[in-house]
Structure 1
Amino acid sequence: MSKDLEQQFVTQFEAHQNIVHKICRMYTNNRDQHNDLFQEVTVQLWRAYPKFRGDAKFSTWMYRVALNTAITLYRKSKRQVTTQDFEGVSFKISAEEYDDTTERQLKLMYAAVKELNDIDKALVLLYLEDKDYREISQTLGISEVNARVKMNRIKGKLKKVLNP
């Protein structure tokens, strides 16, 4: 792969890496699993990047690859994330640490969201990222109407859980 393509990937990835952190937080239970999943998603994004055509925004494409990777690993391992070695990588990506010590309410919400099924979790994550329903539907491969209906039902479920 060319150095230009490599540099483009690193620049885009670093600008949007919080997407991967949020997905990792949603599908893992501890820091080690989070780091393992972060690494696996990064590898999958790197492998898929040469095929990225730019039809969608980079962040939308990144969400799709990251969510598919997380869901696939989550289902395969039943909460035990496995990783692959990726030797021969010559670039470094500086990873920001995700600080959640001051986010008690978010922890409660994340715990409630973790109880949802895989697609509903992904939908909530994209919704919380202020993605519009068109982009959510493209990322998840469902209709825009279906995304809206699902989100309204999820909101009701979460309200009941968070405000008993």
Structure 2
Amino acid sequence: MQNQREIEKEFIEQILKHQGVLHKICFVYSNSNADKEDLYQEIVLQLWKSYPSFRKEAKFSTWMYRVALNTAITLNKKAALFENHKTQLSDEYAIAEVIDYSEDIKILYKAISKLSKIEKAIIMLWLEEKAYSEIAEIVGISEKYVSVKLVRSKKKLAKIIKKIS
């Protein structure tokens, strides 16, 4: 049986290995740098709280995606309740803050941010080259529905990108 130090070390290694995915989720589900940082911290906290229940039946990245997406979606729902009480930064400002992305990537992420929550999740997982079966498991829908949603989401994305660029 692992001691607490070994568990912490293993957890930190996994988070560091997959932190790019977490940053992408935060980028798509947040409107400002402060929101991104808050979401990232909340996701890591939820991952840590849930880590003892991770049974290693799925890949760590699959489990992590599920927890991260659920956390992002839950926080977005809560934020929507208070949206009329706070001023949100525009998408353009949030995109412009990310200096290490090419212009095409900025446009893509801006377009993705305009999709529904489930469409965002499916497109992000597809861009990470996850198999339909893994996307289905993470999002909690059937593989067939992943295929249908992906086709529809790509068409919707193409229209949004056309308007943006």
* Residue matched to 1:123: 122
RMSD: 1.9
Give 2:150's aligned residue: 151
Q: Which deviates more, 50-59 or 152-161? A: 152-161
Deviation at 1:116, TM superposition (A): 1.1
The Cα offsets for residues 62-95 of structure 1, whole Å up to 9 and x where unpaired, read as 00000000000001112979xxxxxxxxxxxxxx
- Match in the other structure for 1:13: 15
Q: Which protein is richer in helix relative to its size?
A: 2
Q: How far apart are 1:41 and its partner, in Å?
A: 0.4
Equivalent of 1:64, from 47, 50, 66?
66
Aligned residue identity for 1:161: I
TM-score (norm 2): 0.84
CA distance in 2, matches of 1:7, 1:52: 15
Q: Which segment is superposed worse, 12-21 or 100-109?
A: 100-109
Map Cα deviations across residues 26-52 of structure 1 (whole Å, 9 max, x no partner). Answer: 001111111111000010000000110
Structure 2 gap segments, 5+ residues each:
84-96
| Pairs within 5 Å for 1:4-153 | 4-78=6-80, 100-153=99-152
Q: Percent identity?
A: 45
Which runs of no fewer than 5 residues in structure 1 stay unpaired?
82-97
Q: Distance in 2 between matches of 1:80 and 1:135?
A: 33
Distance 1:11 1:18, change over 3 A: same
TM-score calculated relative to the size of structure 1 = 0.84
- Report the Cα distance in structure 2 between the residues aligned to 1:127 and 1:29, rounded to whole angstroms: 22
Return closer, same or farther for 1:80/1:53 CA change in 2, 3 Å cut-off.
Answer: farther
Secondary structure class of the residue paired with 2:18: helix
Q: Distance in 2 between matches of 1:73 and 1:106?
A: 25
Question: How many residues are aligned here?
Answer: 148
